[in-house]
Amino acid sequence: MSDFLDTIGVGRDTFAQPEGPAALGITAEHLNPNGGVHGGVIATLVDTAMGVAARDGLGDGRHVATVSLTINYLNPAVVGDVLLVTPEVSRIGRRLIFTGAEVVRSSDQVIIAQAIGSFAIIP
DSSP notation for 52-109: HHHHHHH-SS-EEEEEEEEEEE-S---TT-EEEEEEEEEEE-SSEEEEEEEEEETTT-
Indicate the average pLDDT of the chain.
Answer: 88
**Number of domains observed in the structure of the chain:** 1
Q: Cα(54)–Cα(58) distance, rounded to whole angstroms?
A: 7
**pLDDT attached to residue 19:** 57
**pLDDT attached to residue 69:** 98
Task: State the chain's maximal CA–CA distance in angstroms.
Answer: 43
Q: pTM of this prediction? A: 0.88
Domain that holds residue 113: 3-122
**pLDDT attached to residue 60:** 86
In the structure, what pLDDT confidence band is assigned to residue 61 with cuts at 50, 70 and 90? confident
Q: What is the CATH number of the domain that holds 72?
A: 3.10.129.10
- Which range (18-27, 88-97, 113-122) has the least confidence? 18-27
Residue-wise pLDDT tens digits, 9-56: 765 555 655 556 788 899 999 999 999 999 999 999 999 999 989 998
Comparison of pLDDT for 60 and 10, the residue scoring more: 60
**pLDDT attached to residue 17:** 56
Whole-number percent of the chain with pLDDT over 70:
89
Comparison of pLDDT for 7 and 76, the residue scoring more: 76
Name the residue among 54, 45, 27, 51 with its Cα closest to residue 102.
45
